Chains A and B, each alone.
Chain A
């Protein structure tokens, strides 16, 4: 069991965050240049491609003025992403592989589960993920259908999901980021229903690169904010100075609280995406599928409040017509923390193109 990091984080501080890893470009004269993203001392994938490479003390001191340490944390984060992307790409391109289990390590190499004491400690530190969520009946079924490429198909009950998450699992400042998710329910060829991501704003280039590689249509927003008011929560995405996506939650009674609770994290843990390959795309579900136990310790819900969610989507976005303009529906705010453990499953569902003539 790896030690839990207990960072001395400052989660609500304004940060002048690098868009990138702090690059170094050495160009002593016009004929010589070296552009460095990962300095040689951190290029070892065994020791510097996992956040476990960072000691508790290092995580605590991130963004507290030690530039060399900040660089190490950011390079390790990039290395971890590169290792992850390489493994995913190899899986997607290998047509003999249907399942990608625990990042390629196979079954029986589950992630560490947290003990109750460890979870309590993290909760006291403020760790966890918060989100505003709602589900909406589609306003235009033909448009809905047009977003579902074969072999995905219409689900029994078409529905649009709108979420925005502030993810800071384990309270590590370098790991905190926000992500909007505008999704539609689909029927997969294995007969299970899942959610396909239509649009996914994020604040960092780092995540958008990962996203597009694994088929989440991510874009870098100007800024993403998550703000609590009196009986309300607002999550807002600005793009080129315009409010492109926002969720406004207000506490209030709902028609069917049990139904809302049954959605859990809506798409969270059960999404399908199309991964790029030369000449085609591979449809993959992140998650074994609904109703199948992979041994995860259940997430602990720290707060759950029902209410109404107003969803704004920029009207020029092709998916805007899926819901009524500035739709208001029953939804919820929640904060939870995952318990870890269990097997991480990715399932290949279909391959389109990608074969020689």
Chain B
């Protein structure tokens, strides 16, 4: 063989070191506070790479905490990532800091609408026990452009959700599909039970009286929201929806042999001490929702449905407690402890 001696010499080596995160960035005590993104995107590829590695290092800490929580049957609440009440993960901002952030363009913008489901049987099929049908079934469709103004944290996320009744009697939103543009958020998502996938691209465009958010997947428009400003039937009802699912979602965390149902948030109607988000822009209108017809959840709403909705831009004030509530565990018990009580179905084998 030996057509290329250099090549042959190099490939015969069997030693390898594959490094994802450099040593100085791996320890939690080296992380510092959340980056404001001012150090990235300045034409220094090494600084950019370092910022992304730091973000991954931080993300691992968060997902490790979540995994420990869901795998510990003795824990029902995870408060501030396990640090307990009063130890907020996100410090409260002063009014001056908030003004500064607003002036720098930080905040989250989104398009929101809710739709009456057209197929209640299909709707019900998404609600695994012990979740139940809510008093008034409703589909939520949103797409957020989060952390605009901070290049390292900015990302877009589509959320297609269904309202459900939780076993503690509170209503919440179950996430059915969640496109994101990056692998990092996708990994986090699937660990905590948000069915995320990496899109080709996600775009968000805001004009004076319209906004469009679009998700492409293998070149096809898989999910999009088109907002056009205009009169709506009940503006107060729309405002009461807030961020629709935002702050009150339930999802099924993966565990070996089962899943753990958790609510991100204490639940509607509870004060967690957080400074209320400041609404920077809010406009009512109509939202056309497109869902790729081959997606299993597409039949929940009419094709290219148009409903009253809104565009909103807001910024959180930080502070308060972050609470995650464990609502149920399905399966996951060892065979000796669960025995015949396990909710197990075994398929037929040929």
Contact = CB atoms under 8 A, between A and B. Distances in A.
Interface stretch (B201-209, B267-275, B283-291): B201-209
Nearest to A126: B11
B12 to A, nearest CB: 5
Given A9-B10, A16-B49, A150 B181 contact: no
B129 interface: yes
Given A98-B350, A176-B16, A190-B349, A153 B335 contact: yes
Contacts of B109: 31
A157 interface: no
Interface in A276-293: 276-281, 283
A151 B187 contact: no
Given A209-B183, A226-B14, A203 B20 contact: yes
Q: Which among B19, B64, B174 has the greatest number of chain A C-beta atoms within 10 A? A: B19
A110 interface: no
Q: Which among A15, A276, A283 has the greatest number of chain B C-beta atoms within 10 A? A: A276
Contacts of B236: none
A98 B348 contact: yes
B260 to A, nearest CB: 10
B53 interface: yes
Interface stretch (B87-95, B240-248, B251-259, B302-310): B251-259
Interface stretch (B134-142, B145-153, B226-234, B314-322): B145-153
Contacts of B66: none
A208 interface: yes
B298 interface: no
Interface string A113-152: 0000000010011100010000000000000011111111
Contacts of B113: none
Nearest to A130: B14
Given A149-B257, A240-B26, A352 B347 contact: no
Contact of B335 (A78, A124, A152, A222): A152
A96 B156 CA distance: 35
**Chain B: interface size category:** 35 or more
Contacts of B4: 8
A150 B338 CA distance: 7
Contact of A278 (B56, B148, B195, B349): B195
B184 interface: yes
Nearest to B195: A278
A233 to B, nearest CB: 8
A318 interface: yes
Interface stretch (A38-46, A256-264, A322-330): A38-46
B143 to A, nearest CB: 12
Given A20-B183, A150-B338, A212-B190, A8 B7 contact: yes
A76 interface: no
A36 B200 contact: yes
A31 B344 contact: no
Contacts of B186: 209
A184 to B, nearest CB: 11
A32 B211 CA distance: 10
Interface string B178-195: 000111101100110101
A223 B182 contact: no
Nearest to A189: B346
B17 A280 contact: no
Contacts of A154: 335
B36 to A, nearest CB: 15
A279 B70 CA distance: 14
Nearest to B41: A25
Contacts of A2: none
Interface stretch (A245-253, A304-312, A343-351): A343-351
Interface of A: 8-21, 23, 25, 27, 30-40, 43-45, 49, 78-79, 82, 85-86, 93, 95, 98-99, 121, 124-126, 130, 145-154, 166, 171, 176-178, 189-190, 196, 198, 203-206, 208-209, 212-213, 215, 217, 219-228, 238-241, 274, 276-281, 283, 318, 335, 347-357
13 contacts: A12-B14, A27-B154, A34-B202, A37-B183, A43-B216, A124-B1, A212-B187, A220-B187, A223-B18, A227-B17, A278-B252, A349-B347, A352-B332
Interface of B: 1, 4, 7-8, 10-21, 23, 26-28, 49, 52-53, 56-57, 60, 64, 71, 105, 109, 124-132, 145, 148-149, 151, 154-156, 174, 176, 181-184, 186-187, 190-191, 193, 195, 197-207, 216, 218-219, 252, 254-259, 261, 296, 330-339, 342-350
Instruction: Report the 10 A-B pairs with minimum CB-CB distance, sorted nearest first.
Output: A279-B128, A149-B257, A352-B331, A353-B330, A126-B11, A12-B13, A35-B181, A43-B219, A31-B206, A357-B129
